[in-house]
Amino acid sequence: MIYIIQTYGKAFLYSDGYNMTGVAMTLWLLVAACIIGFCLAVPLAIVRNSKHFLFRAPVWLYCFVFTGTPLYVQLLVIYTGMYSLEFVHHVPSLNQFFRSGIDCTILAFGLNTGAYTTEIFAGAIRDTNFGEVDAARSLGYSTPKLYRRIILPSALRRALPVYSNEVILMLHSTTLAFTATVPDILKIANDAYSATYNPFASFTVAAILYACISFTLIFGFRKAEGHFLAFQKR
Protein backbone atom coordinates (compact mmCIF):
# COMPACT_ATOMS: atom_id res chain seq x y z
CA MET A 1 0.00 0.00 0.00
CA ILE A 2 2.81 2.40 0.90
CA TYR A 3 4.50 1.65 -2.43
CA ILE A 4 1.26 2.39 -4.31
CA ILE A 5 0.79 5.71 -2.47
CA GLN A 6 4.39 6.71 -3.16
CA THR A 7 4.02 5.77 -6.82
CA TYR A 8 0.83 7.81 -7.23
CA GLY A 9 2.35 10.74 -5.36
CA LYS A 10 5.45 10.81 -7.56
CA ALA A 11 3.39 10.27 -10.70
CA PHE A 12 0.75 12.94 -10.19
CA LEU A 13 3.01 15.43 -8.45
CA TYR A 14 5.85 15.41 -10.98
CA SER A 15 6.27 14.88 -14.73
CA ASP A 16 9.74 14.03 -15.94
CA GLY A 17 11.14 16.35 -18.56
CA TYR A 18 8.62 19.16 -18.08
CA ASN A 19 9.02 20.07 -14.39
CA MET A 20 5.21 20.13 -14.17
CA THR A 21 2.67 18.08 -12.32
CA GLY A 22 0.18 16.06 -14.33
CA VAL A 23 -2.58 18.39 -13.15
CA ALA A 24 -0.56 21.47 -14.08
CA MET A 25 0.14 20.05 -17.53
CA THR A 26 -3.55 19.39 -18.12
CA LEU A 27 -4.46 22.89 -16.96
CA TRP A 28 -1.73 24.40 -19.14
CA LEU A 29 -3.09 22.56 -22.19
CA LEU A 30 -6.61 23.75 -21.37
CA VAL A 31 -5.69 27.39 -20.74
CA ALA A 32 -3.38 27.67 -23.75
CA ALA A 33 -5.94 26.07 -26.08
CA CYS A 34 -8.78 28.27 -24.79
CA ILE A 35 -6.71 31.45 -25.14
CA ILE A 36 -5.79 30.56 -28.73
CA GLY A 37 -9.37 29.56 -29.50
CA PHE A 38 -10.84 32.72 -27.98
CA CYS A 39 -8.40 35.02 -29.80
CA LEU A 40 -9.24 33.27 -33.07
CA ALA A 41 -12.98 33.14 -32.47
CA VAL A 42 -13.69 36.81 -31.78
CA PRO A 43 -12.51 38.21 -35.15
CA LEU A 44 -13.60 35.10 -37.06
CA ALA A 45 -17.11 35.31 -35.58
CA ILE A 46 -17.39 38.86 -36.92
CA VAL A 47 -16.21 37.74 -40.35
CA ARG A 48 -18.56 34.74 -40.16
CA ASN A 49 -21.48 37.19 -40.14
CA SER A 50 -20.12 39.29 -43.00
CA LYS A 51 -22.41 40.04 -45.92
CA HIS A 52 -19.60 39.25 -48.38
CA PHE A 53 -19.35 35.62 -49.43
CA LEU A 54 -15.60 35.82 -50.08
CA PHE A 55 -15.04 36.79 -46.46
CA ARG A 56 -17.49 34.27 -45.01
CA ALA A 57 -16.41 31.28 -47.08
CA PRO A 58 -12.89 30.71 -45.62
CA VAL A 59 -14.21 31.00 -42.06
CA TRP A 60 -17.07 28.62 -42.86
CA LEU A 61 -14.60 26.14 -44.36
CA TYR A 62 -12.33 26.34 -41.31
CA CYS A 63 -15.26 25.75 -38.95
CA PHE A 64 -16.65 22.96 -41.13
CA VAL A 65 -13.33 21.09 -41.22
CA PHE A 66 -12.51 21.36 -37.53
CA THR A 67 -16.02 20.71 -36.24
CA GLY A 68 -16.70 17.98 -38.78
CA THR A 69 -13.63 15.82 -38.12
CA PRO A 70 -12.54 14.12 -34.88
CA LEU A 71 -10.04 15.95 -32.70
CA TYR A 72 -7.99 12.77 -32.48
CA VAL A 73 -7.51 12.77 -36.26
CA GLN A 74 -6.63 16.49 -36.22
CA LEU A 75 -3.98 15.85 -33.57
CA LEU A 76 -2.49 12.99 -35.58
CA VAL A 77 -2.38 15.10 -38.74
CA ILE A 78 -0.63 17.98 -36.96
CA TYR A 79 1.71 15.87 -34.80
CA THR A 80 2.70 13.11 -37.22
CA GLY A 81 1.45 14.26 -40.61
CA MET A 82 2.97 17.74 -40.69
CA TYR A 83 6.41 16.53 -39.65
CA SER A 84 6.46 14.10 -42.57
CA LEU A 85 6.23 16.96 -45.09
CA GLU A 86 9.49 17.76 -46.83
CA PHE A 87 9.35 21.55 -46.55
CA VAL A 88 8.95 21.34 -42.75
CA HIS A 89 12.42 19.79 -42.46
CA HIS A 90 13.99 22.64 -44.41
CA VAL A 91 12.59 25.39 -42.17
CA PRO A 92 14.34 25.25 -38.76
CA SER A 93 11.53 26.93 -36.83
CA LEU A 94 8.86 24.63 -38.29
CA ASN A 95 11.08 21.61 -37.80
CA GLN A 96 11.56 22.43 -34.14
CA PHE A 97 7.88 23.27 -33.60
CA PHE A 98 6.42 20.11 -35.12
CA ARG A 99 8.95 17.92 -33.30
CA SER A 100 7.49 19.06 -29.98
CA GLY A 101 4.54 17.03 -28.81
CA ILE A 102 3.21 19.72 -26.51
CA ASP A 103 3.42 22.43 -29.19
CA CYS A 104 1.51 20.29 -31.68
CA THR A 105 -1.05 19.36 -29.04
CA ILE A 106 -1.72 22.97 -28.07
CA LEU A 107 -2.01 23.95 -31.75
CA ALA A 108 -4.49 21.15 -32.48
CA PHE A 109 -6.55 21.89 -29.37
CA GLY A 110 -6.51 25.63 -30.05
CA LEU A 111 -7.66 25.28 -33.66
CA ASN A 112 -10.37 22.82 -32.67
CA THR A 113 -11.87 24.86 -29.85
CA GLY A 114 -11.43 28.00 -31.97
CA ALA A 115 -13.77 26.56 -34.59
CA TYR A 116 -16.46 25.67 -32.06
CA THR A 117 -16.08 28.97 -30.25
CA THR A 118 -16.38 30.85 -33.54
CA GLU A 119 -19.75 29.23 -34.16
CA ILE A 120 -20.87 30.04 -30.61
CA PHE A 121 -19.87 33.69 -30.82
CA ALA A 122 -21.21 34.06 -34.38
CA GLY A 123 -24.60 32.81 -33.22
CA ALA A 124 -24.56 35.21 -30.27
CA ILE A 125 -23.73 38.11 -32.59
CA ARG A 126 -26.64 37.20 -34.88
CA ASP A 127 -28.97 37.17 -31.88
CA THR A 128 -28.07 40.71 -30.85
CA ASN A 129 -31.13 42.88 -30.33
CA PHE A 130 -31.67 44.98 -33.44
CA GLY A 131 -32.97 47.82 -31.27
CA GLU A 132 -29.54 48.18 -29.67
CA VAL A 133 -27.88 48.28 -33.09
CA ASP A 134 -30.37 50.80 -34.48
CA ALA A 135 -29.97 53.02 -31.42
CA ALA A 136 -26.18 52.97 -31.82
CA ARG A 137 -26.48 53.75 -35.53
CA SER A 138 -28.73 56.69 -34.76
CA LEU A 139 -25.99 58.05 -32.49
CA GLY A 140 -23.53 57.91 -35.37
CA TYR A 141 -21.52 54.88 -34.27
CA SER A 142 -19.17 53.55 -36.94
CA THR A 143 -19.08 49.79 -37.56
CA PRO A 144 -15.86 49.18 -35.56
CA LYS A 145 -17.19 51.25 -32.66
CA LEU A 146 -20.55 49.50 -32.91
CA TYR A 147 -18.90 46.10 -32.53
CA ARG A 148 -16.54 47.27 -29.81
CA ARG A 149 -19.10 49.09 -27.65
CA ILE A 150 -22.43 47.36 -28.34
CA ILE A 151 -22.41 44.06 -30.22
CA LEU A 152 -19.37 42.23 -28.81
CA PRO A 153 -19.94 43.03 -25.11
CA SER A 154 -23.57 41.94 -25.40
CA ALA A 155 -22.82 38.84 -27.49
CA LEU A 156 -19.95 37.60 -25.32
CA ARG A 157 -22.04 37.91 -22.18
CA ARG A 158 -24.94 36.00 -23.70
CA ALA A 159 -22.60 33.33 -25.09
CA LEU A 160 -21.07 32.65 -21.68
CA PRO A 161 -23.29 29.66 -20.72
CA VAL A 162 -22.64 27.89 -24.02
CA TYR A 163 -18.96 28.80 -23.99
CA SER A 164 -18.60 27.30 -20.52
CA ASN A 165 -19.77 23.97 -21.94
CA GLU A 166 -17.12 24.21 -24.66
CA VAL A 167 -14.41 24.79 -22.05
CA ILE A 168 -15.54 21.71 -20.10
CA LEU A 169 -15.56 19.65 -23.30
CA MET A 170 -12.06 20.95 -24.06
CA LEU A 171 -10.93 19.77 -20.63
CA HIS A 172 -12.23 16.30 -21.42
CA SER A 173 -10.52 16.43 -24.82
CA THR A 174 -7.13 17.02 -23.20
CA THR A 175 -7.08 13.29 -22.48
CA LEU A 176 -6.01 12.87 -26.10
CA ALA A 177 -2.70 14.55 -25.30
CA PHE A 178 -1.18 11.17 -24.48
CA THR A 179 -1.15 10.55 -28.25
CA ALA A 180 1.66 13.10 -28.51
CA THR A 181 3.39 11.69 -25.39
CA VAL A 182 2.45 14.74 -23.33
CA PRO A 183 2.46 13.82 -19.60
CA ASP A 184 -1.02 14.99 -18.67
CA ILE A 185 -3.20 13.39 -16.01
CA LEU A 186 -4.25 10.42 -18.15
CA LYS A 187 -0.70 9.70 -19.35
CA ILE A 188 0.60 9.72 -15.79
CA ALA A 189 -2.33 7.56 -14.63
CA ASN A 190 -1.37 5.03 -17.27
CA ASP A 191 2.24 5.15 -16.08
CA ALA A 192 1.06 4.60 -12.51
CA TYR A 193 -0.98 1.62 -13.69
CA SER A 194 2.09 0.19 -15.42
CA ALA A 195 4.09 0.56 -12.20
CA THR A 196 1.47 -0.81 -9.77
CA TYR A 197 -0.66 -3.10 -11.98
CA ASN A 198 -3.69 -1.58 -10.27
CA PRO A 199 -5.88 -0.10 -13.01
CA PHE A 200 -8.85 0.64 -10.77
CA ALA A 201 -6.91 2.82 -8.34
CA SER A 202 -4.83 4.49 -11.05
CA PHE A 203 -7.69 5.58 -13.28
CA THR A 204 -10.00 6.31 -10.35
CA VAL A 205 -7.50 8.88 -9.10
CA ALA A 206 -7.40 10.38 -12.60
CA ALA A 207 -11.21 10.50 -12.76
CA ILE A 208 -11.36 12.26 -9.38
CA LEU A 209 -8.83 14.86 -10.50
CA TYR A 210 -10.76 15.54 -13.72
CA ALA A 211 -14.01 15.80 -11.76
CA CYS A 212 -12.48 18.28 -9.30
CA ILE A 213 -11.21 20.47 -12.15
CA SER A 214 -14.58 20.27 -13.91
CA PHE A 215 -16.55 21.23 -10.80
CA THR A 216 -14.17 24.12 -10.13
CA LEU A 217 -14.62 25.41 -13.68
CA ILE A 218 -18.39 25.01 -13.49
CA PHE A 219 -18.51 26.90 -10.19
CA GLY A 220 -16.37 29.71 -11.64
CA PHE A 221 -18.51 30.01 -14.77
CA ARG A 222 -21.73 30.03 -12.76
CA LYS A 223 -20.38 32.89 -10.67
CA ALA A 224 -19.39 34.73 -13.85
CA GLU A 225 -22.82 34.15 -15.37
CA GLY A 226 -24.48 35.49 -12.24
CA HIS A 227 -22.38 38.65 -12.53
CA PHE A 228 -22.43 39.31 -16.28
CA LEU A 229 -25.98 38.07 -16.95
CA ALA A 230 -27.62 39.70 -13.95
CA PHE A 231 -29.60 41.96 -16.33
CA GLN A 232 -31.51 38.91 -17.59
CA LYS A 233 -32.91 38.05 -14.18
CA ARG A 234 -36.46 39.01 -13.37
Among 44-53, 113-122, 126-135, the minimum mean pLDDT is found in: 126-135
Is residue 160 very low, low, confident or very high in pLDDT (cuts 50, 70, 90)?
very high
Domain presence at residue 198: no
Domain CATH number, residue 109 = 1.10.3720.10
Sign of CA dihedral 97, 100, 103, 109: positive
Domain presence at residue 41: yes
Domain presence at residue 228: no
Look up the domain containing 39 and give its range: 17-182
Give whichever of 2-6, 21-25, 107-111, 129-133 has the largest mean pLDDT: 107-111
pLDDT tens column, 179-234? 888 888 888 888 888 888 888 888 998 999 999 999 999 999 999 988 888 766 66
pTM: 0.89
Region for residue 184 given its phi and psi (left: phi exceeds 0; alpha: psi -120 to 50; beta: otherwise) = beta
Domain presence at residue 221: no
Is residue 3 very low, low, confident or very high in pLDDT (cuts 50, 70, 90)?
very low
pLDDT tens column, 141-157? 888 899 998 899 999 99
**From CA 109, how far away is CA 78, in angstroms rounded?**
10
pLDDT tens column, 199-212? 888 899 899 999 99
Domain presence at residue 140: yes
How many domains does the structure of the chain reveal?
1
Give the residues across from 20 on adjacent strands.
Answer: 15
Tell me, what amino acid is at 204?
A: T
Q: Is the pLDDT confidence value at 6 over 80?
A: no
Region for residue 41 given its phi and psi (left: phi exceeds 0; alpha: psi -120 to 50; beta: otherwise) = alpha
Domain presence at residue 232: no
Domain presence at residue 6: no
Mean model confidence pLDDT for the chain: 88
Q: What is the dihedral of CA 36, 27, 124, 45, to 10 degrees?
A: 10
Domain presence at residue 206: no
